[in-house]
Amino acid sequence: MAYLFTSESVSEGHPDKVADQISDALIDNFLAFDRDSKVACETLVTTGQVVLAGEVKSHTYLDVQKIARDTINKIGYTKGEYMFDGNSCGVLSAIHEQSDDINRGVDRATKEQQGAGDQGMMFGYATNETENYMPLALDLSHRLLIELAALRRENKEITYIRPDSKSQVTIEYSDDNIPQRIDAIVLSTQHDDFADDDTMLAKIRKDIVGILIPRVKAKLPKDIQALFNDDITYHINPTGKFVIGGPHGDTGLTGRKIIVDTYGGKGAHGGGAFSGKDPSKVDRSAAYATRHIAKNLVAAGVADEILVQVSYAIGVVEPMGIFINTYGTCSFNMTDGEIAEIVSKLFDMRPFAIEERLKLRSPIYSETAAYGHMGRKNETITKTFTQPTGESVTLDVELFTWEKLDYIDKVKTAFGL
């Protein structure tokens, strides 16, 4: 019997994502001037106010208020009528020195012996149902909001959109887990005030269905385009008016969108957030590493769908263990335990090895803080950072290294494919 599966996404203007982006902007600036910085920074945003709190060990000094304000303005909160804008909001910093008791478990005489920054388990997942090896419902949810943000910035076809928005997509699957059609799309977008509520709702629905959806569909592969149909149930701004939004509508906190950040409810999640953490925190680095493993295994043909788990003890170099689940889709006669044994030899999962393999001590994190950390485009860009002293540094950084399919040949060789 066919079944339905749903995933959601939130925009860069969602209050929790505003907080994530500020935290990751701080990470990038610390790493740009001191690649050995240890940072755990949380952000709270609410009406007219930003609160920064956390622990830092670094040789650089930053104007954290300016970084927060620049990030907020870049997102699009630039008007006083939003009751939260980068130029006028208050910014309170309660960032302090990292505990020596924590740091002693991480720093070692040789970097190769770096211990894990915390205990816990991290998961990576991949499926071959999309070109980027991501679950389809989440991929479409992200795409809707990325395109909506593009329309907002263009300010031509749709001129009334504000930064805060959410999406949700429901996919109908066959018994053998193949996407059959899109069953429902939910989209709520913050907007300017209209004189008449009925006119407002009709206009927004018409523009979302008639402008946004075709733009998203046009950028998809033909097989995914075929899943769009005339029977899709649309819920566009289902509560009606959505003028009050962003941090004025809801308080935002770093790390509250961990399922949006990963796989939309597919696979599993260890519970640790990513944003605001330097790569010594395995919550972040090992989650990227397990995604890298899962994606390369699926791309190499080991299985159609794979979940990878790794676990650590704080201050301990070697992981506690690696677990693999192929959901019965393995393409050859090998148990998941046997696959895990080969994977543990093929991928060095010591914290420092992960940092080196995926180039995680670069300022690459602002780009991860909205629209998902997984399934994104691996590319090299140039970024410039400036200290309060006026000193600037320009760096070429490689984004989303964990999305590279650079282990396919090694995987095929290891498994005899």
Instruction: Give yes or no for a contact between 65 and 93, defined as CB atoms under 8 angstroms apart.
Output: yes
Annotated ligand binding at 55? The verdict is: yes
Q: What is the dihedral of CA 156, 162, 166, 169, to 10 degrees?
A: -10
What is the Cα–Cα distance from 135 to 173, expressed in whole angstroms?
Answer: 12
- Has 250 been labeled as part of a binding site? yes
Is residue 53 marked as binding?
Answer: no
* Residue 14 is labelled as binding a ligand: yes
- State yes or no: 218 annotated in a binding site: no
Q: Is 257 marked within a binding site?
A: yes
Q: How far is the C-alpha of 29 from the C-alpha of 387, rounded, in Å?
A: 8
Q: State yes or no: 225 annotated in a binding site.
A: no
Ligand-binding annotation for 65, yes or no, is: no
Q: Any binding-site annotation on 192? A: no
Is 25 annotated for ligand binding? no
Q: Where are the alpha helices (DSSP H) in 170-210?
A: 197-207
Q: 242 a known binding residue?
A: yes
Is 193 labeled as ligand-binding?
no
Taking residue 400's Cβ as centre, other Cβ atoms within 10 Å add up to 20
Residues 62-96 as b or e (16 or more Cβ within 10 Å = b): bebeebbbebbeebbbeeeebbbbbeebebebebe
User: What is the rounded CA–CA span in Å between residue 265 and residue 220?
Assistant: 22
Per the structure block, which two tokens stand in for 126?
């991949």
Annotated binding-site residues for K(+) read: 42
Annotated binding-site residues for Mg(2+) read: 16
Annotated binding-site residues for L-methionine read: 55, 98, 250, 281
Annotated binding-site residues read: 14, 16, 42, 55, 98, 164-166, 241-242, 250, 256-257, 273, 277, 281
Annotated binding-site residues for ATP read: 14, 164-166, 241-242, 250, 256-257, 273, 277
